């Protein structure tokens, strides 16, 4: 990088291209460099370069997992060491992972293919903890949801929603993504407000559509009770209070709360984040390069300075939100199809080691 001219060059590009002998190659290629940070992505005159994470795994920094898709997209994820191997399982920390390995369980598949009664024979486990370890291994090894109860999902065809705001203490809900139908074929709708001076307009438009077309159907949002539902309610009161009764009469359902917090199911995935669970269930996201925090920051900049240089890429944000609601639909549909596995409520004899459920493809 030249700080004087504010220009950058890709050192070694010509020599690299020469060594590739591109005239003998067919198709398009993505080039990954282990000397660049994991968030690096740039097009250099037809050469797509992605960082492989030059400092990953050092001094406590997360490892980097690259997911190379058939269409040429490369998705980058960070992975903590505690999410590898047996420690990815629910209720398994370092000490318990070592105990299991010494007993011959060297992979998650080994544990998935054994019985919880065999695991419960280990000192300090107990049947409840053994059940949870075995069910977690089954979910992760087989990329499937493991049901633990007969608690039903809502009646009726769900309406999936995801909202974008200007931060964690939001003053505006400026994008509401809605999926009406299935994950594969459902119709996606965007209720978007590009003008921050009208903070209630996107919400008003969404509620007008919902009350006219789908008021009898459940609204589904992932971690909805922790964010989406409360934000919508607060902004209804502030910007469009005439819809408060309509909102209060809706049936709202949060798959995360139902599965994880209420312990009705064990989800596959490196974590219980929507994108990780949906990916484990086979959903392939578009590569927008966005996160919820990045989207909020961009809109904050737009609110402060509405100039061409700060205007968001609206279509890109719509695609990001659509990815979330289609991934949500994949999770919900998988919950609906999952089979029940009986779990007891026997108290555990060991509560000294706890971790959250996590996942990684087998490294």
**pTM for the complete prediction?**
0.76
Domains located in the chain, CATH noted: 13-79 (no CATH), 83-143 (1.10.150.20), 159-337 (3.30.420.10)
Q: What is the pLDDT of residue 350?
A: 35
CA distance 321 to 275: 12
Over range 158-182, report the average pLDDT: 97
Alpha-helical regions (H) of the chain: 13-20, 94-102, 108-112, 116-119, 127-141, 201-213, 228-239, 244-248, 255-256, 274-280, 292-304, 314-337
Buried b (16+ CB within 10 A) or exposed e, 298-307: bbbbbbeeee
Q: What is the DSSP letter of 306?
A: -
What's the mean pLDDT in 44-66? 77
Strands of the sheet with 41-44, listed across from one edge: 30-33, 47-51, 41-44
Instruction: State mean pLDDT over 80-85.
Output: 76
Q: What is the pLDDT of residue 251?
A: 97
Give pLDDT, residue 351. Answer: 30
Q: Is the pLDDT of residue 348 over 80?
A: no
Per the model's pLDDT, the better-predicted residue between 205 and 95 turns out to be 205
Least confident window among 32-36, 127-131, 159-163: 32-36
pLDDT at position 340: 56
Q: SS3 of 197, please?
A: coil
Region of residue 281 (left: phi > 0; alpha: psi -120 to 50; beta: else): alpha
Structure tokens at 182: 């299935």
Find the mean pLDDT for residues 285-300: 85
Task: Tally the C-alpha atoms within 13 A of residue 65's C-alpha that lie toward its C-beta.
Answer: 15
- pLDDT tops 80 at residue 345: no
Q: Greater confidence, 81 or 340?
A: 81
d(CA 146, CA 342): 10
Compute the distance between CA of residue 38 and CA of residue 185 in angstroms, rounded to an integer: 33
DSSP 3-state of 67: strand
202-215: average pLDDT: 98
Contacts of 275 (CB under 8 A, 6+ apart): 285, 324, 327
Task: Say what the pLDDT of residue 34 is.
Answer: 81
Say what the pLDDT of residue 353 is: 35
What is the pLDDT, as a whole number, of residue 339? Answer: 64
Q: How confident is the model at residue 7 (pLDDT cuts 50, 70, 90)?
A: low
What is the full DSSP assignment across 106-170?
-SHHHHHTS-HHHHTTSTT--HHHHHHHHHHHHHHHTT--EE---PPPPSS--EEEEEEESSSS-
The DSSP secondary-structure symbol of 32 reads E
| Out of 4-18, 26-40, 120-134, 176-190, least confident range | 4-18
More confident residue, 246 or 85: 246
Asked if pLDDT for residue 1 goes beyond 70, the answer is: no
The percentage of residues in the chain with a pLDDT greater than 70, rounded to a whole number, is 87
Given this model, what pLDDT does residue 176 score?
A: 98
């Amino acid at each position: 990088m030249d700080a004087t001219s504010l220009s950058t060059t890709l050192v070694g590009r010509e020599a690299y291209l020469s060594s590739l002998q591109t005239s003998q190659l067919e198709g398009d290629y993505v080039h990954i460099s282990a000397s660049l940070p994991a968030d690096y992505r740039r097009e250099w005159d037809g050469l797509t370069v992605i960082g492989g994470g030059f400092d990953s795994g050092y001094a406590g920094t997360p490892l980097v997992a690259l997911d190379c898709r058939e269409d040429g997209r490369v998705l980058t994820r960070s992975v903590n060491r505690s999410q590898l191997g047996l420690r990815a399982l629910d209720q398994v920390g370092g000490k318990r992972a070592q105990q299991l390995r010494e007993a011959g369980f060297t992979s998650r598949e080994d544990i998935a293919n054994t019985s919880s009664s065999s695991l419960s024979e280990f000192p300090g486990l107990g049947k409840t903890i053994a059940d949870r370890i075995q069910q977690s291994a089954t979910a992760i090894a087989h990329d499937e949801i493991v049901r633990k109860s007969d608690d039903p999902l809502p009646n009726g065809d769900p309406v999936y929603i995801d909202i974008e705001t200007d931060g964690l203490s939001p003053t505006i809900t400026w994008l509401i993504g809605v999926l009406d139908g299935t994950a594969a074929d459902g119709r996606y709708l965007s209720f978007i407000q590009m003008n921050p001076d009208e903070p209630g307009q996107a919400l008003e438009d969404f509620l007008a559509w919902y009350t006219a077309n789908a008021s009898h159907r459940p609204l589904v949002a992932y971690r909805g009770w922790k964010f989406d539902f409360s934000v919508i309610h607060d902004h209804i009161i502030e910007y469009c209070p005439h819809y408060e009764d309509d909102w209060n009469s809706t049936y709202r359902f949060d798959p995360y709360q139902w599965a994880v917090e209420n312990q009705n199911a064990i989800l596959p995935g490196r974590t219980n984040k929507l994108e990780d669970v949906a990916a484990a269930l086979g959903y392939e996201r578009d590569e927008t390069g966005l996160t919820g925090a990045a989207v909020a920051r961009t809109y904050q900049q737009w609110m402060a300075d509405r100039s061409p240089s700060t205007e968001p890429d609206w279509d890109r944000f719509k695609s990001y939100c659509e990815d979330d609601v289609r991934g949500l639909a994949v999770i919900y549909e998988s919950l609906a199809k999952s089979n029940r596995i009986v779990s007891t409520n026997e108290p555990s004899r060991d509560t000294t080691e706890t971790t959250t459920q996590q996942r990684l493809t087998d490294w």
